Amino acid sequence: MQESLIVVGNGMAALRTLEELTELAPDRYRITVYGTEPHAGYNRILLSSVLAGEKQLDQIITHPVTWYNERGIELKAGVSVTAIDRKTQRITDSLGNRVPYDKLLLATGSHPVILPLPGHTLPGVLPFRDAIDVERMLAAAQGGGQHAVVIGGGLLGLEAAMGLLKQGMEVTVVHLMGSLMERQLDADAAELLRCELEMRGLRFRLNAESAAILGEQQVTGLRLKSGEILPADLLVMAVGIRPNADLARSAGLVCNRGIVVDDHLSSSDPAIVAVGECVEHRGVVYGLVAPLYAQGKVLARHLAGVESPGCYEGSTVSTRLKVTGVDLCSAGEIHGEKEDEILIFTDPARRVYKKLIVHNERVRGMVLLGDTRDGPWYLELMQRQEPITPIREHILFGNAHLGDAGHGPAGVVHLSDDHEVCGCNGVKKGRILEAISRLGLTSVEEVRTHTKASGSCGSCTGVVEQLLAAALGGDYVSPVAKALCGCTQRTSDEVREAVREGQAMPVRAVMARLGWSTPDGCPACRQAIQYYLTVFHPASHQEERSARFVNERYHANIQKDGTYSVVPRIFGGITAAKELKMLADLVERFAIPEVKFTGGQRLTLLGIRREQLPAIWSELSSHGMVSGHAYGKAVRTVKTCVGSRWCRFGTQDSEALGVELEQKLWNCWTPHKVKLAVSGCPRNCAEATIKDIGVVGVESGWEIHVGGNGGIKVRVTDLLTKVATHEEVQEWSAAFLQLYRREARYLERTATWLDRVGIGFVREQLADPAMRLALASEFQKAHTEIEDPWQAGSKTESARHFAPLAIIGQQTEVAA
Amino acid sequence: MNDTWHYVGLLDEIPSLEGRVVKHDRLGDLALFRTSDDQLYAVEDRCPHRGGPLSAGMVHGRMVSCPLHGWRLDLATGEVQGPDHGCVTRYPVRVEENKIYLCLEPDHA
């Protein structure tokens, strides 16, 4: 039988929880929602846009009545809950009904604070909290009201004031403190903001305390303690909100400022859970949307009864002022304490102010004014708490200045609609914005699904995030951890840890154990899981062909016309007459259309038909050639210069080391492709410093560099260490690769991985000789346990699967 | 002529979650897929996007992902999954005692 779930409150936190819940467990509960407001669900954050006349109320409805109907949810709009009887598990509603519940969800939100000034009950005195308040403000402005006074110079007060200004009123903001938004802004930024808003026509009384509201039948003015009287046809109180825990408190639940909940959003009564502005979690009450959504997500998983629902551990929040034309964003620590370092950039002419609070090389807080496009990025840096050392020099200039080739520095807001954001899929800015607003998209994944933008190389993901942030304002929740794919809620890291700790088992069994929503996954998760199994259970994992993309199944690269390219391994890029003759014969015999040198100094045979592949492997194998893995997430090539063997400048024998290194490291699956190079001297002709592992000869030995990339986003390597001998280079390289194999996410290149974990982590791990040796020998073991795929493949029964299953008709062409 | 059943091979010759090709002189290449619960589907071996060989794609659920650019097709309906659009011709296929029979009259059901 269905359990009954009663939800008290119809705001954004309640609705986000129900969205997630009905997705996860559509039939588990019979749900009833009580909402005091006579509306279906709307986006409270956008009320300021309604007040500013930029949107109509019906445009901010997020959950029309049909939404409730489709999910079988009963909505009691305009009905409130007046009491909870916890003993009998029943609530009493404002119509006098007593209704039983199995679970009760309190999402009662918050009350606006009303200052108990004389005259505060006069008509024309309003809070700024819900749709009715906004309707009344609009009526006052449009009904000929001239003067408005807003008490409160915080976020809400300023948004109200700017909205009323846009409606043609003369607006004065009265603020008790000496600077605006003092909880989100430092004094300098607050001063800049005041100037900015004054230029737009707002007036301010700072350090001003209100004494009395004047008027007989209707508000007429506000008298300040200083004696000054401000005329007012409308007075808005926006001095803050306090959690609405009244119902919970009278039912005897533990409450402080809000309803006290644990990391599962459970109150002191296990049958009662709570979410949103009404709760107090670890001593913190949140009033912004992102944390409420994060709470809702966790709560929904608990209510749905999913395996390992996770915990809510608090949020790092950022504030954005939603006033058109005034960009402001702040988060975390804003003043900076003694030990903190403060990075500041100001440009008075452009009215830009950026301040980052840094402690121990990690971002603790930010204040951005005038240019907030890097807000999501800084917030991410704050949440991840990664060291900023490598980017510190440029950090104030923003993410766009970190070498994202091709995706220019101009703020996305200023790009034209015709600007091609995603070069791979040809998606323009206008198309993305259109999809965001028409389909109500809120995440990069959704934009990717519907427009393809950032779906291929991913280098424009940051731009898409910025477009989302710009379009959604405070609604945009920057992604913290993404699920591996649509088949699971788990992140790639979580899956990797589960495989690491678990036993060897088939890919499908891992999916079943981790609660996959699909029986046999999708290409993304099947490959990731198999990869993790090969790394952590190398001896016992049975290779599963069905978890390999075609390239890794056929040991060749599929091309646009459905033919394949084959790259034999040529260790260190050094070949000989006999090998070349054999290859030339092979090319002629199989009528291979093209032979080309690759970027990694190897030969690729292009235009090979699927059914020819086993015969070609067999032929190459019989002449001692093995797979070059040019098709795989694997160790690919070691590029070399001629070094001291030939070069008159060479200091070290890069050819010899290159061959040794490739022999030591080839034939091993890695999270993503791995390219190496060895240069014989610092002239670095093998371009080693943009490789995953780059070795450069110097007079005293070799420098080992790691984490380089010459692709979409060029990244120069970090120096790992300096060693004297070839053996040491091999040991360090193998140990580095094994660390990467164990710790990186599937499909994460060494460059991205290093950006994430920092070179310090890698140096620390590998500095310990015992650890290094252990990693190197673990790598060696994995490497020797795999047979050359061509040798193996041409012998197995599956070789005949490359030929057609059948040929029907008069066709005479037969596979070679 | 096309509405007869052609014997094309044994079920065991199509590995689970993979595809095989049947060549036809007039219809071109057809792809046969085997799902994890041993259902068989036959469609033209040509992705509506850029003509990729679907038979080399990965099978998941009732779906196949094209190896070239990852378009997903529902094998039971022949329809490309959103946000892309397109469809492939399907052919009836049945298995009797491990033997696969293919009909070359397109399935419009």
Among A77-81, A328-332, A703-707, whose mean pLDDT is lowest?
A: A328-332
- Averaged pLDDT for residues A564-573: 96
Backbone angles phi, psi at A680, to 5 degrees: -85, -10
Per-residue pLDDT at A409 exceeds 60 = no
B53 lies within 8 A of chain A by CB:
yes
A interface test, pick of B8, B60, B101 with most A CB neighbours within 10 Å? B60
- State the pLDDT confidence band at A524, using cuts at 50, 70 and 90: very high
Chain A CB contacts of B80 under 8 Å are none
Chain B CB contacts of A508 under 8 Å are 36
- State the pLDDT confidence band at A406, using cuts at 50, 70 and 90: very low
Question: Residue B20's closest chain A neighbor by CA?
Answer: A805
Query: Which residue shows structure tokens 């194998």?
Result: A621
Quote the pLDDT of residue A715.
Answer: 92
Closest CB to B25: pick one of A610, A801, A811: A811
Closest CB to B61: pick one of A520, A546, A549: A520
Minimum distance, in Å, between the CA of residue A800 and any CA atom of chain B? 9
Minimum distance, in Å, between the CA of residue A691 and any CA atom of chain B? 26
- Whole-number Cα distances in Å, A674 to A551, A625, A738, A759: 16, 20, 12, 17
Cβ contacts below 8 Å, chain A against chain B, sum to 104
Closest CB to B9: pick one of A519, A520, A806: A806
Q: Which of A382, A236, A408, A239 is nearest to A316 (CA)?
A: A382
B3 lies within 8 A of chain A by CB:
no
- Averaged pLDDT for residues A170-191: 91
Quote the pLDDT of residue A812.
Answer: 46
- State the pLDDT confidence band at A375, using cuts at 50, 70 and 90: confident
Per-residue pLDDT at A625 exceeds 70 = yes
Quote the pLDDT of residue A475.
Answer: 63
Question: Residue A517's closest chain B neighbor by CA?
Answer: B61
Minimum distance, in Å, between the CA of residue B50 and any CA atom of chain A? 8
Chain B CB contacts of A427 under 8 Å are none
Interchain contact, B56 vs A550, CB within 8 Å: yes
Please give chain B's pLDDT, 109 residues, in tens: 456 899 999 999 999 999 999 999 889 999 999 999 999 999 999 999 999 999 999 999 999 999 999 999 999 999 998 777 899 999 999 999 999 999 999 987 6
Interchain contact, A546 vs B6, CB within 8 Å: no
pLDDT per residue as tens digits for the range A212-271: 999 999 999 999 999 999 999 999 999 988 999 999 999 999 999 999 999 999 999 999
Question: Residue A525's closest chain B neighbor by CA?
Answer: B60
Q: Which of A16, A70, A71 is nearest to A41 (CA)?
A: A16
Chain A CB contacts of B102 under 8 Å are 806, 808
Pick A796 or A438 by higher pLDDT.
Answer: A438
Query: Which residue shows structure tokens 């010459």?
Result: A710
- Give the separation between CA A520 and CA B40, rounded to whole angstroms: 16
Quote the pLDDT of residue A813.
Answer: 43
Helix (H) or strand (E) holding A362: strand A362-369
Q: What is the largest CA-CA distance in chain B?
A: 39
ipTM given for this complex:
0.95
- Give the separation between CA A9 and CA A36, rounded to whole angstroms: 7
Minimum distance, in Å, between the CA of residue B89 and any CA atom of chain A? 18
Q: What is the DSSP string of A531-544?
A: HHHHHHSTTTPPP-
Question: Residue B35's closest chain A neighbor by CA?
Answer: A520
B1 lies within 8 A of chain A by CB:
no
- Give the separation between CA A659 and CA A656, rounded to whole angstroms: 5
A interface test, pick of B3, B10, B21, B22 with most A CB neighbours within 10 Å? B21
Chain A CB contacts of B52 under 8 Å are 558, 562
Per-residue pLDDT at A616 exceeds 80 = yes
Interchain contact, A801 vs B56, CB within 8 Å: no
Minimum distance, in Å, between the CA of residue A50 and any CA atom of chain B? 32
pLDDT per residue as tens digits for the range A150-160: 999 998 899 99
Interchain contact, B53 vs A610, CB within 8 Å: yes
Minimum distance, in Å, between the CA of residue B1 and any CA atom of chain A? 11
Interchain contact, A808 vs B50, CB within 8 Å: no
Tokens linked to A537? 């259970």
Tokens linked to B77? 């309906």
Quote the pLDDT of residue A569.
Answer: 96
- Give the SS3 label for residue B104: coil
Q: Which residues of A501-510 are buried (b: 16+ CB within 10 A; e: fewer)?
A: ebebbebbeb
Tokens linked to A341? 């370092």
Interchain contact, A518 vs B70, CB within 8 Å: no
B28 lies within 8 A of chain A by CB:
no
Mean pLDDT across chain A, nearest whole number? 89
List A127's β-bridge partners, or say none: A237
Backbone angles phi, psi at A246, to 5 degrees: -55, -50
Quote the pLDDT of residue A404.
Answer: 39
Chain A CB contacts of B63 under 8 Å are 522
Interchain contact, B104 vs A808, CB within 8 Å: yes
Backbone region of residue A655 per phi and psi (left: phi > 0; alpha: psi in -120 to 50; beta: other values): alpha
pLDDT per residue as tens digits for the range A752-785: 999 888 898 999 999 999 999 999 999 998 887 6
Preceding amide of A376 cis, omega within 30: no
List A355's β-bridge partners, or say none: A344, A367
Interchain contact, A805 vs B58, CB within 8 Å: no
Helix (H) or strand (E) holding A444: helix A444-451
Pick A1 or A227 by higher pLDDT.
Answer: A227
B40 lies within 8 A of chain A by CB:
no
pLDDT per residue as tens digits for the range B66-83: 999 999 999 999 999 877
A interface test, pick of B36, B58, B103 with most A CB neighbours within 10 Å? B58
B58 lies within 8 A of chain A by CB:
yes
Interchain contact, B23 vs A523, CB within 8 Å: no
Quote the pLDDT of residue A478.
Answer: 58
Interchain contact, A523 vs B58, CB within 8 Å: yes
Among A195-204, A248-257, A330-339, whose mean pLDDT is lowest?
A: A330-339
Question: ∠ CA(A128), CA(A134), CA(A138), 5° rounding?
Answer: 130
pLDDT per residue as tens digits for the range A571-584: 999 999 999 999 99
Other CB atoms within a 10 A radius of the CB of residue A548 amount to: 21
Chain B CB contacts of A562 under 8 Å are 51-53, 56
Interchain contact, B15 vs A546, CB within 8 Å: yes
- State the pLDDT confidence band at A815, using cuts at 50, 70 and 90: very low
Closest CB to B6: pick one of A508, A561, A808: A808
pLDDT per residue as tens digits for the range A442-492: 888 888 888 878 876 666 777 888 888 777 765 666 555 678 888 988 899
- Give the separation between CA A105 and CA A86, rounded to whole angstroms: 13
Query: Which residue shows structure tokens 């991840």?
Result: A384
Question: Residue A521's closest chain B neighbor by CA?
Answer: B60
